[in-house]
A and B are shown apart, each in its own frame.
Chain A
Amino acid sequence: MKSWFSGTPATGPTTSQEPPPQGGASRVALLRMASREAAMLEGQVNFLKPELLQADSLVQEAAGTLEQALRTLDQRVQHQHQLAKEVQKAMVITLDGAQDSSGFDSISSSIGGTLDGFVTAILEISKSSVQLVGEIEDIRGRSERMEGMLGELSEIAGRTHLLSLNASIEAAHARRFGAGFAVVAGEVSKLADRSTALSSTIQEQISGTRQALERTDAHVQGIASKDMNVALQSKANSEALMQALEASNLRVKDLVGQIEVNARSIAEQVGHVVRSLQFEDLVHQTLTACLKEVGNLMEQAQAWRAFEAALAAEEPEAQAMDALESILSQIEASRVQFRAVKSGSLDAGDVDLF
């Protein structure tokens, strides 16, 4: 059996649990033991207290840094979320006069329809141009035939003129009897001259018309051949552009979706951080409880010092021991029965609604 008087060094507050034996021990041995016990407890207090205070301070400082980082992270996530919303909003285009805003898909479809209508109209114009070329060709043929007729008309005019000349000669041979006939022959000659002049004028007009037709024909043939190719090429280019834009649109949608997924994941991680940071408070409470226990150790040391002083002052041993036991019992009764982190895990606690 372990003897309280054997001089065995104290091993901390548990030693004080053992009641001092009554009688039989020398005062010197008791004094030595009290001194050792007090010194041991003081040593433990001097070691534990600064360590616990430093641990508390470090945890608080670390928690403060984490809190700040968490707030910054949250602000960044909010900003990222806002940017994703802005991108989504930018992808919605409102056409002038439209009642509702449309997404890029419907705008793309609308532009495609407009282009189709444009190309169809161009093709119709081209088709009409081809018909116009035919009409111009017909007019050219008619002009050529008219020119042929004018040639005949000139020949008739020439013959008429010759005929009037002969008639004038015959009228001169007939002298007095041919006077009236000479007048008629003169008028016929004048008509023939006018007919020749008119034919020449018509010939000039028809020639001008033919030149105008040639120019019109060149323009119309240009429209008929070139515009169709340009329109088809433009349509092909536009379709390629729209496909590229649609691909880009899908890529943007995909990226926005990825940003949202990331934001949700970060929000979940932020939740873990919020829960973990609360352990700063729980650790603080635990350390506070430990510091209170260190205070108890200090009180025990003071009790042993008082016991030592009482023995040194030659007070009765029994009285000094009673006083020591009384103080140690009070300390034991006030010992903290508290554990801040009861579960020993990082899981969230229970919820009860009354």
Chain B
Amino acid sequence: MSPCILTVDDSSTMRQMISFTLKSANFEVVEAGDGVEALEVAPGKKLALIITDVNMPRMDGLTLVHRLRALPEFKFTPILVLTTESDASMKQKGKEAGATGWIVKPFSPEKLLEVVNKVI
């Protein structure tokens, strides 16, 4: 059975590109449009990895990371932040929130798969 990855982004294009890349490497992909939807979708999915954007409506990515880490089910699940934000202070906030890694948009499919395979 293929590992399942949750991708969270308010841009449907970004979700499509992430999903396209991951599915081409035989991963199963679940999508959510923001942090709120992600918290609804994630429980019980046995996720191998979560990839989230930062700037999203209703609930941003860093809050989502905080909330997920508070749940026993996702305490040790790798979480990658995929965002346009590249400031060191933002990365530090992501690290403190419990993110596993930080990827600045745009991603190259090859590099994304390399990182995904490294963290799961």
Contacts and interface: CB of A to CB of B under 8 A. Distances in A.
Interface of A: 60, 63-64, 67, 70-71, 74, 270-271, 274-282, 284-285, 340-342, 346, 348-354
Nearest to B119: A353
Interface of B: 9, 11, 13-14, 16-17, 20-21, 24, 55, 84, 86, 91, 94-95, 99-111, 115, 118-119
Contact of B106 (A60, A67, A275, A354): A275
5 contacts: A277-B16, A278-B13, A279-B106, A282-B105, A350-B86
Nearest to B88: A352
B38 to A, nearest CB: 17
B20 A71 contact: yes
A285 B110 CA distance: 24
Nearest to B118: A353
Contact of B103 (A60, A341, A351): A351
A271 B84 contact: no
A278 B118 contact: no
Nearest to B83: A349
Given A271-B108, A277-B13, A348-B111, A70 B20 contact: yes
Describe A's contact surface by its main secondary structure.
helix
A74 B24 contact: yes
Contact of B111 (A67, A351, A354): A351
Contact of B16 (A67, A279, A284): A67
A354 B108 contact: no
A353 B101 contact: yes
Contacts of B118: 353
Contact of B84 (A64, A342, A353, A354): A342
B29 to A, nearest CB: 14
Contacts of B14: 278, 281
A276 to B, nearest CB: 8
A64 B110 CA distance: 22
A275 B107 contact: yes
Nearest to B103: A351
A182 to B, nearest CB: 122
A354 B101 contact: yes
Contacts of A282: 84, 105-106
Given A271-B110, A353-B100, A281 B105 contact: yes
Contacts of A74: 20, 24
A213 to B, nearest CB: 80
B107 A354 contact: no
In this complex, which of A67, A280, A348 has the most chain B Cβ atoms within 10 angstroms of its Cβ?
A348
Given A278-B14, A280-B11, A342-B84, A352 B108 contact: no
Nearest to B86: A342
A274 B102 contact: no
Nearest to A349: B104
Nearest to B98: A354
B84 A285 contact: yes
